[in-house]
Amino acid sequence: MNLRRTLTTFIQQCLSLPSFEKEAVQTLFPSGFHPQLQNLLSALVASKLPSWREASLAGVVGLPKYRGVEWSINLKSASNAAPAQGSSVPSAVVRLQLEKPSGRVGSRAQQEEVVFELSPGPLQVMLEGLGKIKDQLQSIAG
């Protein structure tokens, strides 16, 4: 277990190097390390560093990404209205498709669907907020 931990720490240090050249990797070995083994390990690690860097960056956990939206309008009978009035309350049912980043290197992101319902009031508040976000993004983009 100690060897695994040491190798993991060593590889993490190698991933932070500005260069993936064999000579850069060799600088991380302690003085007095067996020269032939150092040369062999440096060449091996240097050859794998680009793919390990890519895999480590792909595995960075971040925020979910928007992938799509579906919506429908529902009319519900108002529970406190008299049956003779035939009153109904409209609401929007929104289905957001999201892609959640995976926390594991090499595994795929998971698709997730979030379903929620909005009545006209909260929908208006949400649309106003999204409008402000849109305006700010446009002003930054120029």
- Per-residue model confidence (pLDDT) at position 61: 64
The yes-or-no verdict on residue 72 having pLDDT over 70 is yes
Give the per-residue pLDDT at 64.
85
Taken in order 118, 119, 125, 128, is the CA torsion positive or negative? Answer: positive
Residue 105 has pLDDT above 60, yes or no: no
| pLDDT band per the 50, 70, 90 thresholds, residue 141 | confident
Q: Which of the 8 DSSP states describes residue 109?
A: P
Question: What's the pTM?
Answer: 0.50
pLDDT of residue 30: 87
Gap between the Cα atoms of 50 and 41, Å rounded = 15
Position 83 scores a pLDDT of 55
